[in-house]
Amino acid sequence: MNMSIYEPAVESIDRSDLADVQLERLQIVVNRAYANVEFYRRRFDEAGLVPDDIKSLEDLEKIPFTTRRDLIDNYPYGMFAVPLKDVVRLQFPMGIYGNPIVIGYTNEDLKIWTELMARIMVGANIDEHDIIQVAFNYALFPGAIRFNQSAELIGAAVALTSIASAEVQLQIMQDFRSTVLASTPSFALHIAQVMMEKGIHPRNLSLRVGLLGAEPWPEHVRASIERDLGIRTFDIYGVTELVEPGLAGECHQRSGLHIFEDHFVAEVIDPSTGEGLPTGREGELVITTLTTGAYPLLRYRTCDITAINRDPCPCGRTMARMGRVSRRTDDMIVVRGINVFPEKIEEVLGKIDGIGPRFSMKVTKKEGLNDQLELVVDASENILAAEREQRDVKKEELKMALRRALGIRVDVDFPTSPR
Residue 106 backbone class (left: φ over 0; alpha: ψ -120 to 50; beta: rest): beta
Residue 223 has pLDDT above 70, yes or no: yes
Q: How many helices (H) and strands (E) does the chain have?
A: 12, 19
Q: Is it the case that residue 298 has pLDDT exceeding 80?
A: yes
Rounded Cα distance between 269 and 272, Å, is 9
Count CB-CB contacts under 10 A for residue 42. 11
Same domain, 165 and 194: yes
Higher pLDDT, 363 or 196: 196
> Is there a domain that residue 319 lies in?
yes
Task: List pLDDT tens digits, range 22-35.
Answer: 999 999 999 999 99
Domain annotation covers residue 154: yes
Comparison of pLDDT for 95 and 15, the residue scoring more? 15
Domain membership flag for residue 331:
no
Q: Calculate the alpha carbon distances from 11 to 3, 235, 242, 251, 349 in Å.
A: 12, 18, 21, 12, 48
Q: Which of 293, 326, 359 finishes a domain?
A: 326
**Pairwise CA distance, residues 281 & 278, whole Å:** 6
pTM exceeding 0.85: no
Assign residue 226 the CATH number of its domain. Answer: 3.40.50.12780
- SS3 state of residue 264: strand
Residue 335 falls inside a structural domain: no
Q: What angle do CA 249, 223, 321 make, to 5 degrees?
A: 25
Asked if the structure places residue 171 within a domain, the reply is yes
- Find the angle CA(57)-CA(58)-CA(62) to the nearest 5 degrees: 110
Confidence of residue 403 (pLDDT cuts 50, 70, 90): confident
96: confidence class by pLDDT, cuts 50, 70, 90: very low
pLDDT digits (tens, 9 = 90+) for 100-144: 789 999 999 999 999 999 999 999 999 999 999 999 887 777 788
In a domain, 21, yes or no: yes
Domain that holds residue 374: 341-413
- Encode pLDDT of 341-379 as tens digits: 787 788 888 888 888 888 888 877 665 556 788 889 998
Classify residue 339 by its DSSP letter. E
| For range 239-248, the mean pLDDT | 87
- For residues 315-334, give the mean pLDDT: 88
CATH code where residue 392 lies: 3.30.300.30
Given a cut of 50, whether residue 151 has pLDDT beyond it is: yes
- On the question of pLDDT at 94 being above 60, the answer is no
Domain boundary among 326, 349, 364: 326
In terms of domains, do 308 and 381 share one? no
For residues 365 and 282, state if they share a domain. Answer: no
Are 295 and 102 in contact, with CB atoms under 8 Å apart? no
By the 10 Å C-beta count (0-12 exposed, 13-18 middle, 19+ buried), 152 is classed as: middle
Judgement on whether residues 180 and 134 belong to the same structural domain of the protein: yes
Q: Are 309 and 346 found together in one domain?
A: no
pLDDT grade for 282, boundaries at 50, 70 and 90:
very high
Average pLDDT over residues 149-178: 95
Shared domain check, 98 and 157: yes
Question: Which of 263, 293, 326 corresponds to the end of one domain?
Answer: 326
How many domains does the chain contain in total? 2
Residues 6+ apart with CB under 8 A from 352: 394, 397, 398, 401
Q: Cα dist. 192→9, 195, 235 in Å? A: 39, 5, 18
Per DSSP, helices labelled H in 97-214 are: 107-123, 144-153, 166-176, 185-198
Whether residue 255 is found in the same domain as residue 137: yes
> Is 33 among the domain residues?
yes
Within this chain, do residues 181 and 36 fall inside the same structural domain, yes or no?
A: yes
Are residue 290 and residue 365 in the same domain, yes or no?
no
Decide if pLDDT at 97 tops 50: no
Count how many Cα atoms sit within 13 Å of the Cα of residue 160 in the half-sphere of its side chain: 10
pLDDT, mean of residues 180-185: 94
Predicted confidence band at 307 (pLDDT cuts at 50, 70, 90)?
very high
Q: What is the pLDDT of residue 87?
A: 97
Q: How far apart are CA 100 and CA 163, in angstroms?
A: 24
408 in any annotated domain: yes
Strands 372-379 and 410-413: parallel
pLDDT (tens digit per residue) in 46-73 = 999 999 999 999 999 999 999 999 998 9
